[in-house]
């Protein structure tokens, strides 16, 4: 296992997670304003449900990016490995830890941005199972693409 490769992979995940989280927070804020804050009539009554669904959808969409990022980083970092075992370990561990950091950063930013109309939206603990699943999937994708990156070099 290459510690520099693990650290690089995790750092890229964290930086991308911060960017995605900031965009997700801005998007959910916009959805909250559009669906609840300025709503009247029936929309005002169902606004918090729509807002909660928006937060959930945006969080889920953000988490889907992690395995894609693991694949790209796996190919790049894996191409620099000495053997298949090193490529799989470096990219798998880096992808798993990185996706965990990515997911936590995204969810914390989205939850922190929740306004008054988001009373029914998810919290950090609610999303933790999905974050862990994302990290496991990203670890597997990273390990496999790390080995593929090695053989393409």
> What is the C-alpha to C-alpha distance for residues 64 and 58, in angstroms, rounded to an integer?
10
Nearest residue to 28 (alpha-carbon basis) of 107, 113, 120, 103: 113
Q: What is the pLDDT of residue 25?
A: 87
The whole-angstrom separation of Cα 119 and Cα 107 is 16
Which pLDDT does position 115 carry in this prediction? 74
Question: What is d(CA 102, CA 9) in angstroms, rounded to the nearest whole number?
Answer: 11
pLDDT at 30: 81
Q: What are 22-71's pLDDT values in tens digits?
A: 998 888 888 777 776 566 666 556 667 777 888 888 889 999 999 999 99
User: What percent of the chain has a predicted confidence (pLDDT) above 70?
Assistant: 90
Q: Is the pLDDT of residue 102 over 70?
A: yes
Q: What is the pLDDT of residues 119-143, one digit of tens each?
A: 777 778 888 999 999 999 999 999 9
The pLDDT value given to residue 74: 95
Least confident range from 52-56, 72-76, 98-102: namely: 52-56
């Amino acid at each position: 296992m290459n510690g520099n490769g693990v650290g690089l992979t995790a750092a890229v995940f964290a930086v991308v997670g911060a960017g995605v989280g900031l965009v997700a927070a801005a998007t959910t804020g916009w959805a909250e304003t559009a669906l609840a804050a300025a709503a009247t009539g029936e929309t005002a009554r169902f606004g918090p449900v729509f807002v909660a669904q928006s937060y959930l959808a945006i969080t889920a969409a953000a988490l889907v990016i992690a395995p894609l990022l693991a694949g790209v980083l796996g190919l790049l970092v894996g191409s620099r490995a000495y053997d298949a075992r090193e490529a799989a370990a470096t990219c798998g561990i880096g992808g798993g830890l990185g996706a965990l950091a990515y997911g936590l950063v995204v969810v914390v930013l989205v939850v922190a941005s929740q306004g008054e109309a988001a009373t029914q939206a998810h919290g950090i603990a609610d999303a933790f199972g999905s974050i862990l699943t994302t990290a496991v999937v990203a670890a597997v994708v990273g390990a496999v693409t790390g080995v593929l990156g090695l053989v393409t070099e």
